[in-house]
Amino acid sequence: MPDNPLRGWRVDRDQVSFVGTALQRPECVLAEKSGDLWVADARGGVVHIAPSGEQRLIAHQAEVERSPTEGLEARLASGTLPNGLAFDAHGDILIANFGTDRLEVMSRKDGTTRVLLDLIDGKPIGKVNFVLPDTRGRLWITVSTRVNPWMDALRPDLADGYIILMDNQGARIVADGLAFTNEIRFDRQEEFLYVVETMGNHITRFKAHEDGTLSNREVFGPPALGPGAPDGIAFDAYGNLWVTMIMADRLLAITPEGDLLELLDDGNPAATAQIERTASGGRPNFGQMLEAKGTLAPWMASITFGGEDLKTVYLGSLLGTSLAVFRSPVAGLPMLHWK
C-alpha cells in the first residue's frame, strides 16, 4: 500500500477560502458531483449553493420565522434546527432535525416537508442528530440524548444516546448506551459502522451484519482525542477517518492503523480548557463555550469532500456564516449519491 498522504501534511491556512454568505448554523453539507452544495440552515431547511455561487434558501415556510429578540443560546438550542443531511433515493433531502426531534424529508424544489419518524417504541425519539443511508436502502439514525433540555446532557458521565435502523420492517433501536451519539459513517465495504461519541471524546465502531444487527463494539483509534469534542466524521479514499473537534476547532484524522494525526488547529486552547474544567462538574457555561472557537469554521461541526475529484474539503460549523474550503492531498470516499 502506498504511503499515507496525510502523514506530514497539514492544512495551510493561507490556502483556505470561503463559500456561501449569511448562512445560519451551517452544520452539515452535502456536495454533488455537479458542484452543487446543500447546506443545513437554522431557518428550517437548506441553502442551495450553485456552482456559480448563487444561493437560495429552501425551507418549510411555517418554520422559517424566528423571533428577532431570541438570544444566541436559544437560537442554537431550540426551534427547527436542521442538523444531519442526506439524499433519499429520489434526490430529496433527509433532515435529522435536532430542534423538532424528528426525521424529516424535504423536497429540494419547494421545501415541502413531511415527517418520517418522530416516535420509537411509542415514545418521542429525542434529539435526532444524523441520518445515513446504506446500499440496501435502509436508514441509520443517531439520537444524541433523551434528556430535555439537551444541553444538560453535555456531561461525560451520561450515555443515553442510541442508533435507530429504519427499513421495510419499521424502525428499531440497534445500539444504545452511547455518550451523545453524533455522526456515523460506514467504511467502503459497509463492514463496520463508525460512531462519534461526542461526550465520550472518541470514535466507536461496530461490526455491521446483513440483518442490520451491530456487534463487537470497540473504540477505534485513541480512547481520548484530546481538547474539544468529536462531532463530524468522513472517510477519505485511503481509509483515513477525518474528525472535526467542536469547542476546539481542531481537524484530526485517524489512520487505518488507529494513529491520530492533527491536520489543523484553529481554536482557543485556553477557552477550551476552561469549558472542559467547568463541564467536568456539570453543564458547561454558555458564555465560556462561545469563547472556545476559531475563525475559519467557528464551532467546527462537520467535514464533506466535494469537487469533481473529491479533493475539495468543506467544513460546516454552528457559528459560521460561510463554509471554509481547502484542498486535500487525498480524495474523499464517494458517498452513495456521488454519480
Exposure class string for 195-222: b at 16+ Cβ within 10 A, else e: bbbbbbbbbbbbebeeebebeeeeebbe
Q: Tell me: the pLDDT tens digits for 121-144?
A: 999 999 999 999 999 999 999 999
- Spatial strand order of the sheet with 202-208 comes to 181-186, 192-197, 202-208, 214-220
Domains and CATH numbers, the chain: 13-327 (2.120.10.30)
The span from the CA of 205 to the CA of 192, in Å, is 6
Alpha-carbon distance 188 to 14, whole Å? 32
pLDDT of residue 68: 43
CA 272-275-276 angle, 5° bins? 85
Max CA distance (Å), the chain? 56
Asked if residues 10 and 264 have their Cβ atoms less than 8 Å apart, the reply is: yes
Give the cell for residue 216. 463487537
Determine if the pTM surpasses 0.85: yes
User: 238 CB contacts (<8 Å, ≥6 apart)?
Assistant: 4, 5, 6, 256, 330
pLDDT tens per residue across span 147-206: 988 888 888 899 999 999 999 999 999 999 999 999 999 999 999 999 999 999 999 999
Residue 246: C-alpha distances to residues 182, 268, 309 (Å): 12, 11, 27
